[in-house]
Structure 1
Amino acid sequence: MNRWILQMGFPVVTIDSKTGKISQKHFLLDPDSVVDRPSCVLIQLTCSKHRYKNEDLTQKMFFISIQTATNTNMMLGPDDWLVANIKMKGFYRVNYDLENWERLLSKLSSKHQVQRLTSTNRAQIIDDRPVKTTTKFLDKEREYMPWETTRRNLNYFILMFDRSEVYGPMQVSVQISSSSLIKPADNEGVQYNQVNAISMACSTGTLIIHSPSLISLIPLLLPLSLTYWVIFMLCSSISPNLKSTVYCSAIAAGGVEEWDFAWSMFKKATIASEAEKLMYALSCTKQPWLLNRYLEYCLDPEKIRKQDATFTITYIAANSVGQSLAWDFIRSNWDHIFNDCERPCLFYGDAAEVQVVCSCQKPG
């Protein structure tokens, strides 16, 4: 286990189904990064080969401990396709040759064939493949894990492209993919999917009420005035699953009155989960001066607790309006953040991918 324990990160396994060649290397978000240390681990590789119309041909498991190997079990015929890391039980990513990727993606586009891939492996494909090639198949997806993976990956693209010419087509894609899931449901898994779909639609401004069954959701999803906001908060009429999305949408659609009201509710909150939802919602405003004020609150432990300051900054960085504001704030107040905050070692912005590590130098 030394190679797993003493080495950083995890590997990406690349399979060439034409030659049977298998290779592993250290997975890096930036493929151009220079790594001056060898990285090779013992991997339990599981795979399943299928034909288009028949049952599973084979399911295999074997180990690889070198950087490059060849296994004839990985070679495919013209009608075969292969998926590795079955049910994602192994701690590694998977990449395939172009032909096998195209066959896997064709499975996602077929309502009948898609069930031959487990929901876990469908989520894996979405996570391992560029998001632009997988989201167009989501209108046929109903399981939670693939949608949750899509939401996490799309957040980054929504943030990066919100001011570019591709944002319009992205809105259309999100609208088409999520519209079939935005409806009341009793099944718990479907309810979580509904939350994801509504959250994605609200974040891109594409929610369309197209069914009588959605009438009950209209007050929660339209831009909320202060009156609505107060009524919903006091009457506790919001589904617990939808609270974060509704709170965030209300703050984003409102102004200083809505923000100040939410701030007062945050300071009065006695339930930790409710306070956390409000702390996040306060970062959703589109008013730069309110975001700057919220950032300044992070320097005052009477307003924002030290243990919450890094979360607050990260939430603001995940807002397209607040991304540059948060980075300027970090650079201007690095000494305070590093020395006084209780969690200065790591910032993770889910969408902005803001990362500041203790070992780094002071930002320039």
Structure 2
Amino acid sequence: KANDASAEVNNWNSDFTLRIMQTIFRLDDFLEITLEPNITNVLQINQLYDSITHFKGSCLLRMLENSMPEILFENGTQNFLKQWKYATVSRNDFWNSINALAQDYLPPQTNISDIMETWSSQSGYPLITIIRNKTAGNLQVSQSKFQARNESDSSLWIVPLNYVIGNGDERKLWLTNRSITVANVSSDKWILFNVKRTGYYRVNYDIDSWNQLIEILTTNHEAIPLENRGQLINDAFKLAENSLISYEIPFNLTKYLHREERYIPWASVLDSLEFLRDALQSTYLNGAYEKYVKHLVSPLYDKMWNVTNGNQLLRKLTIETACSVNYEPCTNWAENLFNEWMKKNITVPSDLRKTIFCTAIRDGSEEEWNFLWNQIKSQKTNSDIEEVFISLGCTRDTWLINKYMRNAQSGTIPWQYVPYVWQSLGQPTSLAFGFQYLRENWNSIYEAYKDKPIILKAIIQDFLYKLGTKSDLEDLTILVKKHENDFQQLAPLVQGVVDRIKARVEWSGRHLQEVEEILLG
């Protein structure tokens, strides 16, 4: 078994589930991405035909590939490339090349074009629900659109499913209708669907099946595939967020983490907690949330913070998280390193620059901020420059945030780096001030950037997306209505943000007390 995290991310399948699939799920949740959008202007092409649609398309291809023997998909792809070399093609030409070899693995009277049409023409993705009937010894497997905004939504996909029962072999089946019954299922063994997270869907289970998964994670977590350990928690938090299960389930799933020493599950879990972090950071529960995360990561931090070989990606992730929730050993370490850099020009570890910079700026004064600002010109790569800009936004001093925003608007900061400024505003003080600044200066901001969609997109997708209160929703609604013509071409992104803020407001009304009881109980 490879214990080095680099071995995990060099495993294409594990890396894909984390860096691509989990990212696109999060975006698809509020944008409801379709691969066949209705394009009415050039700006929408820039919005929609970017990495988002490419990521979703790659997820669907990976799912299709895993529905059949790998060699068939590879041969079909090679046949397509040979047949259509130098020619203009459509996606149906590719489907037909795969279909010619894969008929024995498809549902009866169905071809790949029919299957993939259900995924490319519909927005969003399905939720697969598993209900075990122990008396009858079967499973009821059904599908519905996840987060359907319309209760009468009739979206239906042709879904390639895979699952294991206990430590048995992987099984496959197709879900072509609303539901299907799987017979001859043992009542005393745990069940896991979406093995290795190959399918583009989320999975919910009945409460007994969830509890069996919690038990196996607690007693023998390596019985669950690496990719699924984080996926179970990711799905569970998202399901709880949408009132489909109790928050007790995802919180109970995280209890196994004191045994987990692999990067992929940890990275997936911590990404899953971002919604809670954003929802709670401006509430009275922020301290309790930080205490909970400290409880999760502090044992791993104490074990790994000074490790110089081996699991470096997990070490980096652990330090980033520990410092972000103000774990004192981590913040003291980061601030001391920054001070030594500032006073003695001692080199900061390259893989932890952003964490060290942000921690020092967040807890520091004007002296630290000005020092880091003056380092911009000496940065050698774009990623180094990005780290500095992102870290400057970590300050909690409103006048420094104001200075930062004015530097961006005045042209002191080159326009190609302005998206980093908006992306950097994420903690309560900078969010509140940044939103106020945006409302007060929208005319000049839009005039400056109307021909630079990357900046407008960053403001909406990387900044406004983080808002989450009722007053935020009211102020954003007023802003959009007041400048209706400006926002018209940005409508899909703006609507996604509005829906996201509404969901957070509704979440607080439904779940704040439940989460409070868990965090404080």
Alpha carbons of structure 1 residues 36 and 290: separation in structure 2 relative to 1, 3 Å: farther
Distance 1:99 1:349 in 2: 39
Structure 1, residues 165-190: CA drift from partner, whole Å, max 9, x if none? 433333332222212322233555x2
Question: Residue in 1 aligned with 2:173?
Answer: 62
Structure 1 residue 16 corresponds to structure 2 residue 131? yes
Alpha carbons of structure 1 residues 105 and 292: separation in structure 2 relative to 1, 3 Å: farther
Question: Residue in 2 aligned with 1:228?
Answer: 340
Question: Residue in 2 aligned with 1:119?
Answer: 226
Structure 1 residue 137 corresponds to structure 2 residue 256? yes
Q: State the structure with bigger RCO (CA 8 A, min sep 6), 1 or 2.
A: 2
Structure 1 residue 196 corresponds to structure 2 residue 317? yes
- Aligned pair partner of 1:345 in 457, 482, 490: 457
Distance 1:225 1:244 in 2: 12
**TM-score between both structures, scaled by the size of structure 1:** 0.82
Structure 1 segments, 4+ long, off by >6 Å, are 361-364
Counterpart of 1:83 in structure 2: which amino acid? L
Question: Residue in 2 aligned with 1:319?
Answer: 427
Moved more, 270-279 or 174-183: 174-183
Instruction: Give the superposition deviation at 1:96.
Output: 1.0
Distance 1:244 1:96 in 2: 39
Alpha carbons of structure 1 residues 70 and 342: separation in structure 2 relative to 1, 3 Å: same
Distance 1:35 1:264 in 2: 54
Distance 1:4 1:107 in 2: 33
Distance 2:186 2:170 in 1: 13
Question: Residue in 2 aligned with 1:287?
Answer: 397
Instruction: Give the superposition deviation at 1:227.
Output: 4.1
In the TM superposition, 1:161-176 aligns within 5 A as 161-176=280-295
Instruction: Give the superposition deviation at 1:255.
Output: 1.1
Question: Residue in 2 aligned with 1:214?
Answer: none
Instruction: Give the superposition deviation at 1:319.
Output: 1.8
Question: Residue in 1 aligned with 2:165?
Answer: 49
1:83 counterpart SS class: strand
Distance 2:128 2:463 in 1: 25
- Aligned pair partner of 1:6 in 121, 137, 152: 121
Instruction: Give the superposition deviation at 1:143.
Output: 0.9
Structure 1 residue 306 corresponds to structure 2 residue 408? no
Instruction: Give the superposition deviation at 1:350.
Output: 8.9
Larger fraction in helix: 2
Instruction: Give the superposition deviation at 1:45.
Output: 0.5
Instruction: Give the superposition deviation at 1:256.
Output: 1.2
- Unaligned runs of at least 5 residues, structure 1: 51-55, 210-217
Instruction: Give the superposition deviation at 1:37.
Output: 5.0
- Report how many residues are paired: 338
Distance 2:491 2:414 in 1: 24
Distance 1:141 1:152 in 2: 16
Answer yes or no: is the 8 Å Cα contact 2:163–2:172 preserved in 1.
Answer: yes
Distance 2:252 2:465 in 1: 21
Question: Residue in 1 aligned with 2:491?
Answer: 359
Alpha carbons of structure 1 residues 312 and 36: separation in structure 2 relative to 1, 3 Å: farther
Answer yes or no: is the 8 Å Cα contact 1:226–1:257 preserved in 2.
Answer: no
Question: Residue in 1 aligned with 2:55?
Answer: none
Structure 1, residues 149-177: CA drift from partner, whole Å, max 9, x if none? 22222233233323544333333322222
Distance 1:227 1:272 in 2: 24
Alpha carbons of structure 1 residues 231 and 171: separation in structure 2 relative to 1, 3 Å: same
Percent identity, aligned pairs only? 23
1:322 counterpart SS class: helix
1:345 counterpart SS class: helix
Question: Residue in 1 aligned with 2:192?
Answer: 83
- Unaligned runs of at least 5 residues, structure 2: 1-115, 238-249, 469-486, 499-521
Alpha carbons of structure 1 residues 331 and 38: separation in structure 2 relative to 1, 3 Å: farther
Answer yes or no: is the 8 Å Cα contact 2:338–2:356 preserved in 1.
Answer: no
Alpha carbons of structure 1 residues 350 and 135: separation in structure 2 relative to 1, 3 Å: farther
Say what the alpha-carbon RMSD is for the aligned residues. Answer: 3.0
